[in-house]
Amino acid sequence: MATDDYLAHISTLTSEFHDGFHVISTQGQLLKIAQYFSPPIVTNAEIDYGKVFGGRYLAALFGSALSQVTAAGIASNGFGIAVFRRGVEVHFEGTT
């Protein structure tokens, strides 16, 4: 099964693996699923406080600033999709 198909399969609320971060190599290979991590706080991060967000948003934002991370993102029914690179939100699609 292709990586994107597998991620779509496990990202439903009925899947025990839907929560957490999934780690994908730069070649598109799925390395880890349903992981939690607590990256260091990026004190100078630009945060849009006009959005309603939570801990996973900040973990993805701060995690994307790590030198080993190419990009990080989150997706949820209530929030939408956000993608981060180098500690900056580069894409957002809200649900409303």
Q: How does the average pLDDT of the chain come out, rounded? A: 91
Full DSSP string of 50-68:
TS---HHHHHHHHHTTSTT
Global pTM reads 0.86
Are 28 and 5 within 8 A, CB to CB? Answer: no
| Residue 5 structure tokens | 């198909």
Write out pLDDT tens, residues 4-19.
899 989 888 899 998 8
Write out pLDDT tens, residues 57-78.
999 999 999 999 999 999 888 8
